[in-house]
Amino acid sequence: MSDKLTKTALTPATHTTPPAKFSHGVRKGNILQVAGQVGFGPAVEGQAPTPVGPGLREQTLQAFANAEAILKEGGASWEDAVMIRVYLTDTGHFAEFNEIYNEYFASLQEAPAARTTVYVGLPAGLLVEVDVLAVLG
């Protein structure tokens, strides 16, 4: 009997097409990896991806929503997340980001994911990017 693991691309209908040959998320066995998500709103045919707002709050909540859609597509939820990588562009955003983070994850039942936050460059207009490693089961 084969126990070969299946590798599945996770592609929520709301997501814009990736700008290159990568998946928004991948599940293989009980490992689910969400690609870097930014504050792009739902895909609109014929339009380039656009951030939902100029502000950190709107972009962060949209990035979380985008990540959650991918987790769900793979049969997971935030409860399964073991690591959330946070990329901000400005150290001055840390306190506000944490407020938003705490509100968003207030109702978690399981242990919250670990997190690393670093400050990097992102394409113009983007203030935040997040990716997620989840372990299912």
Residues of this chain that bind its own copies (CB under 8 A)? 3-5, 7-9, 18-26, 28-31, 33-36, 79-80, 82-85, 87, 91, 94, 97-98, 101-102, 105-106, 108, 110-124, 129, 131, 133, 135, 137
Would you say 45 or 120 has its CB closer to its own copies?
120
Let me know: does 88 contact 119? Beta carbons within 8 Å.
yes
Would you say 10 or 52 has its CB closer to its own copies?
10
3-class state of residue 97 by DSSP? helix
Counting every residue, how long is the chain?
Answer: 137
| Cα distances (angstroms) measured from residue 37 to each of 65, 116, 118 | 9, 15, 15
Would you say 69 or 113 has its CB closer to its own copies?
113
